[in-house]
């Protein structure tokens, strides 16, 4: 029997409305509604087209709902914190929530073979919540101290941020890349299983901007635990974004060390003077100046001249070193899969069979290139040789 909820879930995952999917399948929108609600089963030809669109196997639509079968993790779309220019639509947010639900179901499968250490990000979050609940400091001071607590807890080198992505993954954040859209840099949320997720957009960005995205989303995870972002008005949403930005600046550029570095600059209003600091801290020139202004290391006139020069030199779109500093990519899930595959604890074939999907689907879901999976796709069949007969020559 055709399982309508399976079609609903995978349609939402891909961001299609019923009308859009109907046009792709050349059926009516009413037919899609009937498929999803169990009033009618699609013809074999339609199912075959669904397979091609979604990169799944036929039995995906005739088996128990994939998300229910693999320990559905209810992701509340209202808890998604975007680093974006605008508040996103319910449709977009629902799609992203479904994406994380599918990732969580995948993690439930591979975690049957693994025992993770205690998630240190969750421990840090609880320490921060306890501090804020018992603090009489104003909000800005709280955020500054929270950033210091986080940097100290994560044991990040006070002279650089070069391994930030690696450290966050090691300490318990699940970081993935995907095509989110040209107006969204990243988003983050906590799942019901207390997994912290950061999803990074895969549009070309510099390593320094990616570092700021990571720090910004870490700020949301620590400061805005399970806050219902979808219920916020524009003003409240802006305040949350400003708080995450304030955290990111203080986290990436600790006050004492950064101030010592900045005060040694020869021309503080000239963006080109910041290039070595950018290389050291792995933070954009614009973010360096903004932090300096916040710490009163730049006065109004200096900061104004700095921004004029930023526009004149074209640094708003591309800065020096943007093409030279290597962009770090998430590696935790890739490394786990490589370990499981190469030690025969779990095979790619088993994963694809369990998920009832093709490699293209898995690649898009996890943000890992198809070539990584292709090399594990073919099982090397053992060729029969004379030595297997165990006979002896007379």
Which tens digits make up the pLDDT trace of 329-346?
A: 999 999 999 999 999 999
Kindly report the CATH number assigned to the domain that includes residue 206: 1.10.10.2910
Q: Are residues 146 and 107 in the same domain?
A: yes
- Collapsing DSSP to helix, strand or coil, 199 comes out as strand
Last residue within a domain, chosen from 13, 43, 63: 63
Q: Are residues 31 and 156 in the same domain?
A: no
Kindly report the CATH number assigned to the domain that includes residue 33: 1.10.260.40
Tell me the two tokens of residue 339.
């370990």
Q: Are residues 98 and 212 in the same domain?
A: yes
* pLDDT value for 388: 46
Closest CA to 80 of 282, 224, 271: 224
Closest CA to 150 of 84, 217, 97, 95: 217
* pLDDT value for 83: 64
Q: What is the mean pLDDT of residues 186-200?
A: 92
- Collapsing DSSP to helix, strand or coil, 205 comes out as coil
* pLDDT value for 384: 42
In this structure, is residue 40 part of a structural domain? yes
In this structure, is residue 322 part of a structural domain? no
* pLDDT value for 229: 85
Q: Are residues 100 and 205 in the same domain?
A: yes
Least confident of 51-55, 139-143, 187-191: 187-191
Least confident of 82-96, 236-250, 352-366: 82-96
Stated pTM of the model: 0.91
- Label residue 205 by pLDDT band (50, 70, 90): confident
Say how far apart CA 24 and CA 349 lie, in whole Å. 29
Mean pLDDT of all residues belonging to the chain: 90
- Label residue 76 by pLDDT band (50, 70, 90): confident
Q: Are residues 244 and 258 in the same domain?
A: no
* pLDDT value for 378: 67
CB 274 within 8 A of CB 171: no
* pLDDT value for 114: 84
Inter-helix orientation angle 234-252/285-294, to 10°: 100
In this structure, is residue 124 part of a structural domain? yes
Going 67 to 71 to 76 to 81, the CA torsion angle's sign is negative
Can you count the helices (H) and strands (E) in the chain?
A: 19, 4
In this structure, is residue 321 part of a structural domain? no
59-87 burial, b for 16+ CB within 10 Å, e for fewer?
ebbeeeebbebbebbebbbbbbbbbbeeb
- Label residue 372 by pLDDT band (50, 70, 90): very high
User: What domain range is 267 assigned to?
Assistant: 254-315
In this structure, is residue 216 part of a structural domain? yes
């Amino acid at each position: 029997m055709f399982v309508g909820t399976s079609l609903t879930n995978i349609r939402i995952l891909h961001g299609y409305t019923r009308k859009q999917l109907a046009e792709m399948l050349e059926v009516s929108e009413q037919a899609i509604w009937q498929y999803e609600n169990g009033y009618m089963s699609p013809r074999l030809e339609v199912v075959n087209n669904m397979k091609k669109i979604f990169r799944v196997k036929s039995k995906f639509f005739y088996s128990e709902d994939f998300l229910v079968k693999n320990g559905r993790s209810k992701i509340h779309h209202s808890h998604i914190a975007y680093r974006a220019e605008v508040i996103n639509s319910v449709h977009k947010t629902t799609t992203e929530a479904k994406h994380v639900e599918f990732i969580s179901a995948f993690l439930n499968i591979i975690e049957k073979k693994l025992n993770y250490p205690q998630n240190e990000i969750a421990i840090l979050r609880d320490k921060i919540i306890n501090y804020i609940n018992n603090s009489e400091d104003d909000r800005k001071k709280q955020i500054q101290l929270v950033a210091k607590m986080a940097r100290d807890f994560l044991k990040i080198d006070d002279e650089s941020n070069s391994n930030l992505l690696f450290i966050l993954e090691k300490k318990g954040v699940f970081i993935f890349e995907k095509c989110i859209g040209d107006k969204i840099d990243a988003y983050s949320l906590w799942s019901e299983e207390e997994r912290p997720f950061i999803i990074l957009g895969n549009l070309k960005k510099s390593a320094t901007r990616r570092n700021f995205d990571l720090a910004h989303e870490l700020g949301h995870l620590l400061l805005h635990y399970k806050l219902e972002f979808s219920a916020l008005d524009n003003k409240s949403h802006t305040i949350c974004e400003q708080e995450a930005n304030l955290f990111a600046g203080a986290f990436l550029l600790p006050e004492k060390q950064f101030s010592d570095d900045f005060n040694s600059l020869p021309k503080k209003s000239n963006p080109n003077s910041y290039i070595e600091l950018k290389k050291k801290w792995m933070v954009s020139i614009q973010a360096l100046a903004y932090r300096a202004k916040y710490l009163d290391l730049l006065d109004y006139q200096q900061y104004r001249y700095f921004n004029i020069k930023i526009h004149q030199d074209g640094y708003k779109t591309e800065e020096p070193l943007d093409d030279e500093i290597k962009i770090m990519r998430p590696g935790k899930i890739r490394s786990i899969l490589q370990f499981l595959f190469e030690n025969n604890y779990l095979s790619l074939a088993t994963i694809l069979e369990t998920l009832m999907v093709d490699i293209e689907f898995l690649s898009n879901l996890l943000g890992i290139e198809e070539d990584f999976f292709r090399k594990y796709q073919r099982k090397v069949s053992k060729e029969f040789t004379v030595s297997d007969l165990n006979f002896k020559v007379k």
